[in-house]
Amino acid sequence: MLIGIDASRYRHPQPTGVEVYSDEIIDGLLEHFKRQKRQKLRLYTSKKLPNVSTKLQKLIPAKRLWTQWHFARELVKNPPDVIFIPSHVIPLRLTFLKQNKTKIVTTIHDVAFKEFPSAYSFFQTSYLELSARIAVKHAHKIIVPSEATKKDLIRLYKCSAKKLVVIPHGFRPPKYDISPKKESTILKRFHLTKSSPYIFFVGRLEAKKNLARLIQAYMKFREKHPDWQLILGGGRGVGFRAILTALEKEQILRHVVMPGYLTEDEKHVLLRYAHVFAFPSLSEGFGLPVLEAAAHGTPILASKIPALLEFDELVDEYVNPLNVSSITKGLERIARRTKFKTKHKEVSKYSWSKCSKSVWDVLTSKK
């Protein structure tokens, strides 16, 4: 059996959630491939991949229309038995060929674009909607990271439950080898000390993450806790202008730090010393940042939404993401608490090794 993998987002220089998933899954699949001799593997990529055998790579150099034209043409010309697409839309050309016998397996991470279209650009919404509809109709199997996403696909797209496979994303606890001196240097960069009280968020700064309401809640919270800061780490996304407007309206720009994309060391130091990790997202398919915060034992405030409720053993305070008062009260409750949930043991349940093994089983299954 020849298993093909869309590796076009593998080893992205600044990976976010989808790219991290691609990296971890493909790394894991390569390991499973090395341990057996029955299956063949082919990685389709637009650029040469370092540290991967050239024998496994199918280089398709193209800057434009890579998925829908160049990648699709190769799949039609030399079809694998199975093609796995971890983070891209299925090539339309495959769906038009009645004689095509390639089994298509893809991952749908969430359907937030369906519930909150205003949080995405018109192009993003259209692209993701098309991707979901094609997957529901033409994929042999659809991998989803949570029961919440499975239920969403059944509810919103009438997807067959037999087609859906729930495989929770994994998590790789960071190897924290940052020296005290470097910690202090990083904290000083953000005008912090190890005892400075601050609320931390990390992720794309976009409307879906509900940051405008978090800012409003923080403003009310500061009335009783004027020494606390808010740090919003991550690159700008759709809806960033509304976030900036909320900051200007509340006149608290000097109390909110937006450093942009963070290095791994910066992120881990800020997570380690945060008094609260706030994740009031409107919609999630999984919630990897919750696991990152939990690995550091950081107190966690999160939205009471289906996907994040699956992390009940890790979240210290759940809040209504649509209610500023609820978020404010959640922050106040955490600020008063002295004991929090023990998280390290629960975090260990989530493994990229387990995740990639489950994906490998789907790809090699005869069903």
pLDDT of residue 98: 61
What local confidence, expressed as pLDDT, does residue 235 receive?
Answer: 86
Q: Cα–Cα distance between 272 and 294 in angstroms, integer?
A: 10
Read off the tokens for 164: 């859906």
Q: What is the pTM of this model?
A: 0.86
Query: How buried is residue 14: exposed, middle or buried, by Cβ count under 10 Å (0-12/13-18/19+)?
Result: exposed
- List the structure tokens of 309: 């409720």
- Residue 366's pLDDT is 85
Low-confidence ranges of the chain (pLDDT < 70): 97-99, 250-251
Token readout for 52 is: 């991967």
Q: Strand locations in 214-281, DSSP E?
A: 229-233, 256-260, 276-279
Judge whether 150 and 143 are in contact, CB under 8 Å. no
Which helix or strand (DSSP H or E) is residue 131 part of?
Answer: helix 122-138
The pLDDT, as a whole number, for residue 59 is: 96
Closest CA to 210 of 242, 249, 233: 242
C-alpha span between 241 and 95 (Å, rounded):
38
AA identity, residue 296: H
User: Shortest CA distance to 23 belongs to which of 356, 330, 250?
Assistant: 356
User: 237 vs 91, 209, 213, 231, 303, CA distance in Å?
Assistant: 26, 10, 16, 16, 20
Model pLDDT, residue 99: 63
* Residue 365 φ/ψ, nearest 5 degrees: -70, 145
Find the radius of gyration of the CA atoms of the chain: 22
What is the C-alpha to C-alpha distance for residues 119 and 282, in angstroms, rounded to an integer?
A: 10
User: What pLDDT is attached to residue 101?
Assistant: 83
- φ/ψ (deg, to 5) at 22: -60, -45
Tokens at 88, concatenated: 């891209």
pLDDT of residue 230: 95
Domains of the chain: 2-170+351-364 (3.40.50.2000), 180-347 (3.40.50.2000)
Q: Tell me, what amino acid is at 136?
A: V
